[in-house]
Structure 1
Amino acid sequence: MTIQAVIFDWAGTTIDYGSRAPIVAFQQAFANVGIEISEAEIRQDMGLDKYTHIHKIISLPTVQNDWQARFQVLPTSDDCDRIFQDFKSILLATLTDFAHLKPGMDTVVDFLNSQQIAYGSTTGYDEEMLATVLPIAANQGYRPTVNITSAQTNGIGRPASAMLELACDQLEVTDYANVVKVGDSINDILEGQNADAISVGIVDGSNLMGLSQAAFDALTAAEQLVLRAKVTAQYEAVGADYILQSMVDLPALLTKLNQPVSDAQ
């Protein structure tokens, strides 16, 4: 096998350890209308485009009940639109604080460049959000050749494969079986599977783990082990092809996948 391209997610995968920026923005936007939402309620659908994600959250029974108790009516599409615009303003104002590359990404970029493996991204960000993080990432050495949002696929985002397929098409890769999709959420894994690509889940700093680096580092070794096992089990449950503890491990996996079958066994 020859790996022709690697397609990354953004928050929680390549930047923003723990995928914290969207959580902060979602919680604040809903708090601004008097509705409290938990991290767990947000994270279960992480990886969707943000507008769709707002609709998912507002459709939760707990949110519907709280909304009706507070306003005596159920939320409408106009309410979703207003919350999304507030969410977007909050996120855009804070993205720069969370756009640091995750540990190991510099090594990954060096490896991909040295091996001449193309790389790009698909994302739940919209164009304006992406435009904010791209130059910050570029200043740190991370410059994906293509960056696909659902606006480029007629609104079709994860877990469908449309964004991943478009990224591959723009990279002139025709065999999706030779593409590696790297992400940190269940929807990332499903996106890769739906394109018949190789799906890779990252454990440390992922959406599924949900902790900032400082919070994770503050855990005992035993607590870290338990948390990593919990995240690994979630990836296994949806059939991820490979599960890596951190991005540091990706070059070794790509090297293995690039070996002839007889050598790799």
Structure 2
Amino acid sequence: MNKQIEAVIFDWAGTTVDFGCFAPVQVFVQIFEQAGVPVTIEEARKPMGMLKIDHIRTMLEMPRISAAFEEVHGRPFTEEDVQTLYGQFEEALMKTLAKYTDPIAGVCETVQTLREQGIKIGSTTGYTREMMEVVTREAKKKGYAPDFLATADDTNQFGRPYPYMLFRNIEAFQIQSTKSVVKVGDTTSDMQEAKNAGVLAIGVIVGSSEMGYTEAEYTALPEDEQRKLIEATRKKFEASGADYTIETMPDLLPLLEQIAQPVML
């Protein structure tokens, strides 16, 4: 049996652009600081990949942050607080987003090779359509433009881990079977999105939000520290349902060749 891959659907920040997924993280930290409830980078990263308003809600539901909010404000958080924080997040992010649109090393070349093989290039994101207008415009100038983009604005605000953004890609490409589709992402919510859609889930490690390092920080690490970081991140992906992991984007090509090999029955 030969497994033909018809489409690869990528996440954006931390997967194809914005090494380390830093554009949203800094803003999450900033808005919680302004609300009198400082959060750690680790706490800000934990829900990464979700629709950003869901991300904020999930952070507020974390026991430590929830208790801190109640202590500072004298009451539990409400949906109105979620909306207020999200408004602040959106305003701040839009001011800096264009700076975080550089394609990650190997992405443009890998996508070009996939296209030459007749494979469709799709994408999903935790950003809104308005945010993605900035990201897609700037990334295209720098050489990266997938064939299709779905945001939660296209799915009645059901973002990850719901599978609907992936289904929009599959529908647009007129693909009959989810078994012919691969999702590549850099967060545990990407893996959950893929599993819920019934497509293969591949976690990309170096440059991922799960790893959480800038390119300069990662490059400066001794090789043994890099290996420890890679293996720790790999375990996170595997624990969240990844079928495969790759260290960098160029590793995707030989992996897809391996997946497509005939299986001896």
The TM-score range, normalised by the shorter chain, is over 0.9
Partner of 2:169: 167
Deviation at residue 195 of structure 1 after TM alignment: 1.3
Structure 1 counterpart of 2:127, from 110, 125, 128: 125
Structure 1 residues not aligned, in runs of 5+ = none
Q: CA RMSD in A?
A: 1.3
Partner of 2:6: 4
Structure 2 counterpart of 1:29, from 23, 28, 31: 31
Structure 1 counterpart of 2:211, from 205, 209, 212: 209
CA contact 1:7–1:120 (8 Å) conserved in 2: yes
CA contact 1:109–1:141 (8 Å) conserved in 2: no
Deviation at residue 255 of structure 1 after TM alignment: 2.4
Amino acid at match of 1:209: M
Partner of 1:107: 109
Deviation at residue 188 of structure 1 after TM alignment: 0.6
Per the alignment, in what secondary structure is the counterpart of residue 90 of structure 2?
helix
Amino acid at match of 2:34: N
Report 1:1-265 matches (<5 A).
1-262=3-264
Deviation at residue 59 of structure 1 after TM alignment: 1.6
Deviation at residue 73 of structure 1 after TM alignment: 1.8
Distance 2:186 2:28 in 1: 18
Compute the TM-score of the two structures, normalised by the length of structure 1.
0.95
Distance 1:190 1:76 in 2: 27
Deviation at residue 238 of structure 1 after TM alignment: 2.5
Distance 1:2 1:199 in 2: 15
CA contact 1:149–1:163 (8 Å) conserved in 2: yes
Distance 1:195 1:76 in 2: 31
Deviation at residue 134 of structure 1 after TM alignment: 0.3
CA contact 2:115–2:121 (8 Å) conserved in 1: no
Amino acid at match of 2:256: L
Q: Deviations over 1:55-106 (max 9, x none)?
A: 1111222222222222212222111111101111111111111111001102
Per the alignment, in what secondary structure is the counterpart of residue 203 of structure 2?
strand
Deviation at residue 235 of structure 1 after TM alignment: 1.4
CA contact 1:17–1:205 (8 Å) conserved in 2: yes
Distance 1:35 1:218 in 2: 32
Distance 1:239 1:68 in 2: 34
Amino acid at match of 2:143: G
Q: How many residues align?
A: 263
Deviation at residue 258 of structure 1 after TM alignment: 3.0
Deviation at residue 202 of structure 1 after TM alignment: 0.4
- The share of aligned pairs that are identical, in percent, is 36
Deviation at residue 257 of structure 1 after TM alignment: 2.6
Per the alignment, in what secondary structure is the counterpart of residue 98 of structure 2?
helix
Structure 2 residues not aligned, in runs of 5+ = none
CA contact 2:49–2:189 (8 Å) conserved in 1: yes
Compute the TM-score of the two structures, normalised by the length of structure 2.
0.95
Amino acid at match of 1:216: Y
